[in-house]
Structures are given as C-alpha cells and as structure tokens.
Structure 1
Amino acid sequence: MIINDFIYFNQTGLYCPYGDFYLDPQQPVANAVISHAHGDHAVSGNTNVYCTNATYQFMLIRYGKNAGREFHLAEFGQSFYVGKVKVTLIPAGHMLGSAQVLMEYEATRYLYTGDYKLQADASCEPYEFVKADVLITESTFAEPNTVHPNHVQEVIKLGDIKMNIMLGAYGLGKSQRLIRMINDLVPRKKILVHHRIMPLCQVYEKLGFALGKYELYSRKLMKQQDEYIYIVPPFTFDSYFKAVGVKRLFASGWKNLQVNEQDTLMISDHADWGDILQVVAHTQPKQLWTLHGDGRHLATHFSNTIFVKMLA
C-alpha cells in the first residue's frame, strides 16, 4: 500500500517520518540521506549523513570539518536501514557519486531520483533503471518542448573556434565532464582549469575516473593564442565579462545562461522531457510524484494512466 505522506516537505526539507530522515535537507538535521554533493542538495552540519564515498569526498573539500558529524558510506546497491526504512543507493548519472534513493517500507518501493541524466558520461556512473511503486522525480526540464541537443555534437563545435576560450561551468560535475569530453572529442585543444576546480578533479582521478590531459591555469600560458580552453567556475566567469582575446562560453542546459549568440554550448546534466518519460516507462510506477520543477505537464500527460502528485 502506498502511503501518501511517506515523504513530504516541511520548513527544513523533504522529510520521511517513517525513517526519521531527510532527503537532501536544506538545513542541518539529525539524519540526512544525500543524493549528491552539489550545494543545493548537500548542506553542511548534519549529524548523521548517508551517502556514497564520492559525495563524502566532495563534501570534505567543500565544507572541511563542518561537512557532517558522522558519515555512513554505502556502495551502490548496498542496502541499509535508517529507522524502519530500507534504503539502497542507485546510480543517477548526474555526476560522480550521484545516487537515486530507493526506499522500501511495508513492501512498497519509493524511488527518489535526485538529479539525474541518461546521456552517456564517462566521468561518472551511468543511470541505472529500477522498478518502484512510486517514482519521485525531479522535473527541472519536464516540459514537452524541451529536448537537450546531442552533447557530443555540442562539444565538437569547440573545435571550430580558432582562439582561446574561457569556458564557464559549474566546478563540480560539469567541469569534469567537459574535461573528459574535450579530451575525447577535440584532443588538440589544451585544457587549463581554475585552482578551485583542480582539487575536485583530483577526487575523480583518485576514484578511478580518469579525465585525460589538463593542467592548472597559468596567465603566461593563456596569453598564448594556442587554442587553450580555460575552464572556470561561474563566479570567475562573471567577473571577467570584459575579457579580451578570448571567446567566452558558458556550458549549461539553460538557454538564458548562454552568453554568445554566435556560439553556444548547450550541455545539461539533467533529464529532458523524453528522458523522464523513458524513466517512467522503465520504472513502471503506480504513482508519480514530482519536485524541483513544474510537474503540471507530467500530470496532464499521464492523467489517464498514472496518478501524479506535485510535491513542490
């Protein structure tokens, strides 16, 4: 039997009262199950943190001794209990260590996707389909007209730019994906990375996800017109809006973050409309609960087949 209030939002975040834990809480809590290490999902200061090793490593870099009091690390597919709820972390394909959270209680399976993508990505574990009675999906791009372009063709376009590029990208996940893709698809380009991104790259290497060739940024190197791609986090990218001698691009699935009409780099780490429908088809849920976006289009699409509830 599906429990309608198995999880719900309160002032602290997404709460499961049957296990007394939060999923990606927005404020420090006693028990937190963290899907991945992006700042809007992984806050510091929780007492007990349940996550993958990669998420733990990234949180240590980001938060240091304030990352959390006690970490309980789980391999993908390894089940454990939080309260009376059986929890299993399943690869989400969003970034290294990102997990879906499968929760089993009284013979009912609830699957929280966290952020996820289906596009191939050699820099992280691929998305894994599982069956569940309730699919709790992010709906960031849950709009029928949203179709992410081919990520391979987007990166290949960088080869047509015959000057140095300042490439803005989120420091964790997106940057490492781009490093690997540029090395694989446009290997003549030389990659420089911002000093804030380098320690995160080192975690990838340590955990067995080789990214290829890249080196720490040097002003001397960047002054050469040698087709360098300098990958920088958003705050650095924004501060160099008047930079000369470089082509400025920002890698994102959001059209409003593209900065050049002539050259865009539409690279998303989220599921688009078609991906979400594919996940629903494989998961075969009796109910679909949506969050982190607009679930109205999914409610309309499945109005005659699956009950859809919008959590937020």
Structure 2
Amino acid sequence: MIIDDFVVIDANGLYCKYGDFYLDPKQPVNQAVITHAHADHAVSGNHQIYTTATTWAFMQLRYGKNAGKVIYTAQYNAPFSIGDVQLTFIPAGHMPGSAQILMEYLGVRYLYTGDYKLQPDATCEPYQFAKADVLITESTFADPAVLHPDPVTEIKKLNDIKINILLGAYSLGKSQRLIRMINDYAPRKKILVHHRIMPINAIYQQMGFEIGNHQIYGRKLMKTQEEWVYVVPPFTFDSYFRATGVKRLFASGWKNLQVNAQDTLFVSDHADWNDIIETIKQSQPTQVWTLHGNGSHLKEHFKDDIFVKLLN
C-alpha cells in the first residue's frame, strides 16, 4: 500500500521519516541523500552524506572541508539501506554522477528522479528507466508548451557565426556538455575556457568523460578574430554586457536567459514535457508526485488515469 506521507516537504526540504533522511536538503541536516552536485541540490555542511562517488568529487571541489562527511558512495544499481528503507541509485542523465533515488519500503517502490533529462549527452551517464509504484518527478518544464529543440541543431548554429563568441553557461555540467558538442558539431571553432571552469573539466577527465579540445582563456587570443568561443560562468558573462567585437550568447533551456532575439541557444539539461510523459509511460506508476515546478498540467493531462499529487 502506498504511504501518502512517505516523503513530505518541511523547512529543510524533502524528508522521508521512514528512513530519517532528506533528499537534496535545502539546509544542512543529519542524513542527506544527494542526487547530484549542483548547488541547489547539494548544500555544504551535512553531517552524513549518501551519494555517488562522482557527485562527492564535485562537492569536495566546490566546498572543500565544508562539504560534510560522506558516509556512503554507492555505485549505480547497487542497493543499500538507511534504516528500514532500501535505496538504489539509478542514472538520471542530468550530469556526471547524477542519480535518481529508488526507495523501497514495505514492498512499495518510490522513485525520486531529481533533475534528469532523456536527451543524449556524451558527458554523462545516460538516463535509465525504472519501474515504480510512485514516481516523484521534477516538473521544471512540465508544460505542453515547452518542447526542447534538438541540442545538436542548436550547437550547429555556431557554425554560421563568423566572429568571436562569448558563451555564457553554468560552470558545472552545462559548460562541459557545450565544449564537447562544439568539438563534435562546430569543429572549426576554437574553445577558450574561464579559469574557474578548468578544475571542473579536470574531474570530468578523471571520471572518464572526454570533453575535447579547449584551453584556458588568454586576453591576447580573444583580441584576434579566429572564431574563438569563450565559455564563461554567468557572473563573468553578465560583467561583459558591453563587450564589443563578440556575439553574446547564453546557453539555457529558459527563454528569459536568451540575450539575443536573433541568436538563441536553447540547450537544456532538464526533461521537457514529452520527456516527462515518456518517463511516466516507462515507469508505469500508480501515482505521480511532482515538485520543483508546476505539476498542474500533468494533473490535467492524466485526469483519472493516474493520480497526480503536487508536493509543492
């Protein structure tokens, strides 16, 4: 029987009292199960951390001694237990080390997706479908009007831009995916990388994810028009709002972050409407619980076919 309050949201985040742990807590807690290393899911200072080895490596880079204390780094599809709850990490396809959390309790399977995507991505483990009685899905783009374009087609747009490009992207996950895709689909471009992104790239290499040719930024290089693409984090991108002699692009799945009406670069690391529907189809849940977005469209879409509960 499905337990209605198997996970609930409190001041610290998403809590499972049946195992006494939090999933991606918003504040430091005693026991944290962390899906991936982005700062909105992996805060510093947790007392006991359960995550993948790759996520832990990124957290150590980002937080240093303040990362917390890792108790268990599990491989994918290798069950472990916290109290009476059995957990399994399953690839989420969001970034390296990202994991869905399958929780089994009293014979019921609850699957928390965390952030995920179905699009192919050579810089992380591909998404893996899993059966669940309850699918707890992020719903960032759970809107029939939101359909992500093909990322390869988006990257190929860069081939038509003949001046240097200032490319804004989040440092962890997005930047490395873009570097690899530019190497693969816009190979004439030469890639420069902001110094704060380079240590993250090194972890990708250590974990076996090849992202291709790139070099650290040099001011003299960027002064020549040799079709450079300079990949920078958001704070640097914003500081160059008056930059001349370059095309400014920000790679994101959010329309409001596109800076040029004529030159957009929609590359998202989240599931869009079709992907969420496909995930529900493959998971075959009796219930769908939504969070990290608006689940009302899913509730309307499934009506009486599948029970949809909005957690936030």
Q: TM-score range by the shorter chain?
A: over 0.9
- Could you give the per-residue CA deviations for residues 224-272 of structure 1, whole angstroms, max 9, x where no partner exists? 1000000000010001100111100000000000001110100000000
- Could you give the per-residue CA deviations for residues 20-42 of structure 1, whole angstroms, max 9, x where no partner exists? 00000000001000000000000
Q: Determine the structure 1 residue equivalent to 2:270.
A: 270
1:1-312 alignment, distance < 5 Å: 1-312=1-312
Q: Distance in 2 between matches of 1:71 and 1:120?
A: 31
Q: Distance in 2 between matches of 1:174 and 1:132?
A: 29
Q: Distance in 2 between matches of 1:70 and 1:183?
A: 35
Q: TM-score, normalised by structure 2?
A: 0.99
| Matched AA of 2:164 | N
CA drift of 1:83 comes to: 1.3
- Could you give the per-residue CA deviations for residues 39-97 of structure 1, whole angstroms, max 9, x where no partner exists? 00000000110111110011011100000123410101111101111000000001111
| Matched AA of 2:154 | E
CA drift of 1:141 comes to: 0.4
Q: Distance in 2 between matches of 1:21 and 1:208?
A: 31
- Could you give the per-residue CA deviations for residues 85-126 of structure 1, whole angstroms, max 9, x where no partner exists? 100000000111110000000000000000000000000000
| Matched AA of 2:64 | G
- Could you give the per-residue CA deviations for residues 257-297 of structure 1, whole angstroms, max 9, x where no partner exists? 00011101000000000000000000000000000000000
Q: Distance in 2 between matches of 1:155 and 1:98?
A: 23
CA drift of 1:190 comes to: 0.5
Alignment root-mean-square deviation, CA:
0.6
Q: Aligned pairs, how many?
A: 312
Identity of aligned residues (%): 66
Q: Distance in 2 between matches of 1:294 and 1:147?
A: 15
The secondary structure found in structure 2 opposite 1:118 is coil
* C-alpha contact 1:194 1:232 (8 A) present in aligned 2: yes
| Matched AA of 1:104 | E
CA drift of 1:188 comes to: 1.1
Segments of structure 1 that go 5 or more residues without pairing to the other structure are none
- Which structure 1 residue ranges, 4+ long, deviate > 4 Å from structure 2? none
* C-alpha contact 1:56 1:71 (8 A) present in aligned 2: no
Q: Distance in 1 between matches of 2:14 and 2:83?
A: 16
Q: Distance in 2 between matches of 1:112 and 1:89?
A: 10
| Matched AA of 1:28 | P
Q: TM-score, normalised by structure 1?
A: 0.99
The secondary structure found in structure 1 opposite 2:276 is helix
